[in-house]
Amino acid sequence: MRVTLIVNPFASAVTQRARVLIQQRLAADNDLTVIETTKGGHAIRLAHGAGRAGAEVVIVLGGDGTINEVANGLLGTDTAVAPLPGGSTNVFARAIGYPNDPVAATSVLVEAMAAGSIRPVGVGLANGRAFLFHCGAGFDAAVVERVEQRGPLKRYVGHPLFLLSTLTTWYRRVDRAHPWFAVESDDGRQIGSAHLAIALNCNPYTYLGNRPLDLAPEAGLGSPLSVVTLRSLGLRALLPAAVKAVRSPDGVPDGGFTGHWSGVSGAVITGYREFPYQLDGEFLAPTSELRLDHRPDAIRLVLPAGGR
């Protein structure tokens, strides 16, 4: 099989030892090409070029942001995408069933490719750009921006940095009194004012260590989006939502301070002012409107046996 391995050498879990072992394992049964990213956005062009050059599978060794870029570079093509966990959290690779260790995940991936375990799956779109597991707007994205501002620490601190950034963003960096936007789905469901909106293409939203945060357990790659909203940033809203995400089999409830919509094929987030947003954990420039869509069968994905 013709395979291209795209490596983000700056990702937190990418080590020289892991790279050697992974490349040896992949090269044993495949025609392997290895290329590295050098900057943000580079993986989109590399993936697109690999597909045009005839790669049957593009494997990504990096974090969720690099996997997102590769998926965008291969959207609508016959070249399959396969994630290897190389970042600090690796939400997407873990969500579809790969181990969190990149070398162990490579063994699972090789078996999946040999078995032909490749199928088309849906993606979400935010203003035309694909996301694999979620798009977050408002408070969620403000936290991601804070984490990205401390990029060097992210490699070594990981989840504690995320928790600290959540607290400092809530306490110092957002206006908790005035909502950012309204949300309306194409089928007429509405939230008039919200501080946070998360569109999920699969579950979980993220992991804290080994514990998943299940905002919308029904979200999956074969179904339309789920959208979770938060009408307030007060502790009476935040704490119950966090507890439900950790403990409830149903995720965040639809009612009170929270909204939970499933089966969303399209929606619009309309800002009362510019608001931040992120895709698959990568912060993007603020916008005043965000169009969300679900695109079925948009990419081909290598899934482990028994993967979701």
- Taking 70 as the threshold, does the pLDDT of residue 161 lie above it? no
Q: Tell me, yes or no, whether 148 and 237 share the same domain.
A: yes
Residue the block writes with tokens 């992210």: 154
Domain match, 43 and 78 both: yes
What pLDDT shows up at residue 150?
63
Q: Is residue 308 a part of any domain in this protein? A: no
Q: Are 139 and 239 contained in the same domain?
A: yes
Q: How confident is the model at residue 178 (pLDDT cuts 50, 70, 90)?
A: very high
Same domain flag for 292 and 169: yes
Mark whether 287 and 142 lie in a shared domain.
Answer: yes
More reliable by pLDDT, 270 or 245: 270
147 shares a domain with 48:
no
Q: Which of these three, 92, 116, 140, is where a domain ends?
A: 116
Specify whether 108 is located in the same domain as 153.
no
Same domain for 198 and 89: no
> What per-residue confidence (pLDDT) applies to 236?
85
Least confident among 192-196, 232-236, 296-300: 232-236
Q: What's the pLDDT score for residue 124?
A: 98
pLDDT at 165 over 80: no
Whole-number pLDDT of residue 192: 96
Other beta carbons less than 10 A from residue 177's beta carbon: 9
Region 31-54: mean pLDDT is: 96
| 127, burial (CB in 10 Å: exposed 0-12, middle 13-18, buried 19+) | middle
Check whether residue 30 and residue 148 sit in a common domain. Answer: no
- Tell me, yes or no, whether 137 and 82 share the same domain: no
pLDDT at 166 over 80: no
| pLDDT score at 109 | 97
- Quick one: 76 and 138 in the same domain? no
pLDDT at residue 306 is higher than 70: no
Domain range for 80: 2-116
The answer to whether position 123 is within a domain reads no
- Answer whether residue 41 is part of any domain: yes
| Residue 270 located in a structural domain | yes
- Would 307 be classed as within a structural domain? no
- Residue 175 domain-assigned (yes or no): yes
More reliable by pLDDT, 249 or 170: 249
Query: What is the tally of structural domains in the chain?
Result: 2
**Domain end (from 53, 86, 116):** 116
Q: Residue 157 falls within a domain, yes or no?
A: yes
> What is the per-residue pLDDT across 246-259, written as a single tens digit (0 to 9) for each?
888 899 999 999 99
Tell whether the model's pLDDT for residue 95 goes beyond 70.
Answer: yes
Report pLDDT digits (tens) over 193-223.
999 999 999 999 999 888 899 999 999 999 9
Task: Find out whether 150 and 163 touch, Cβ atoms under 8 Å.
Answer: no
| Residues 147 and 107 grouped into a single domain | no
The pLDDT of 38-63, averaged and rounded, is: 96
Of 91, 116, 141, the position where a domain reaches its end is 116
Which CATH number fits the domain that encloses residue 262? 2.60.200.40
What's the pLDDT at 149? 64
Which one has a higher pLDDT value, 143 or 224? Answer: 224
Query: Residue range 55-70: average pLDDT?
Result: 97
The percent of residues above 70 in pLDDT, for the chain, comes to 94
Q: CATH code at 24? A: 3.40.50.10330
Residue 82 is assigned to a structural domain of this protein: yes
- Whole-number mean pLDDT of the chain? 92
